[in-house]
Amino acid sequence: MQNLIIKTICLFACVVFSSCEKIDLRSALVSYENVNERFNQSMEWNARQGYQKIVTADNEYKIMVMADSHIGSTENYDLFIEHALQDKSLAVVMNGDITTGRADDYNTLSDIRPKKNDIESFLTVGNHDLYFNGWKEFYARFGASVYYFTVKTPLASDLFICLDTGSGTLGEKQMKWLTKLLASERKKYRHCVVFTHVNFFRTRHTGSTNPPVEELQLLMDLFLTYQVNLLITGHDHEKSVEVLGNTSYITMDALLDGFSQAGYLKLHIKDQGVGYSYINF
């Protein structure tokens, strides 16, 4: 009887996952590599390349953020980049599930990623980016999945931290790195924004994953202690905002082509604070 149940579950999983070309059954059950391995590689990359520093002559600036484009197709992605360039955004952040994890989709993303001279772009990984052994494709083209960048204006400097929750958790090493970074660097910066793919709160019935409760408690304590302005996530495909202490926990709509609520987030960084607005196509 037990074997029959196991076989039935496996058959059901195969039918469900095989019906969607963008799902890798192996990755859905077991990661190709764990988050600590990706963290180690990210730190090696950061040691070679350093952390990026953007300097602007403007006291106020904008950053555009998207997630869940799931390239393949690129209609909404192209619109997002077009909007960012037209609006003279200082940078764009692509916050996970940018691709389906396939090599062909990474080739597409590499081809259409905006040139550095046009606009700065920063990428994080989501669970779909890791499908089909996608981490190797991501790392070879874009490098670290855990890093930070800074923006210096005539008035102050701001800190932006990109994290890897592609496996549904930060893992021990990344958590220690984040804790140390906030403790040593946060006081040097006016504003602090954190980007990662997996959303922290479940605001509707969904099969998407959330980080472990114990990890969430640690993270929320960190964000409260070090006055993180915003945590920006995707993953759930539906916008929501929760506020705890000084931190707004923002989930974005998916940028996915054909999605009725497709859109992105516009950040407005000023001396008074970090504002944001949802933009839907």
pTM, to two decimals: 0.91
154, 229: one domain: yes
206, 67: one domain: yes
Q: What is the pLDDT of residue 30?
A: 63
Q: Report yes or no: 226 and 159 within 8 Å, Cβ to Cβ.
A: no
139, 254: one domain: yes
The strand order across the sheet containing 61-66 reads 120-124, 91-95, 61-66, 263-270, 273-280
Residues 86, 92, 94, 99, CA torsion sign: positive
Return the structure tokens found at 24: 């890798």
| Angstrom distances, CA of residue 160 to CA of 1, 185, 192 | 53, 11, 6
Domain residue limits at 202? 33-280
Q: How many domains does the chain have?
A: 2
2, 89: one domain: no
pLDDT along the chain (281 residues), means of 10: 44 42 63 91 98 98 98 98 98 98 97 96 97 97 98 98 97 98 98 97 70 93 98 96 96 97 98 97 94
Q: What is the pLDDT of residue 212?
A: 87
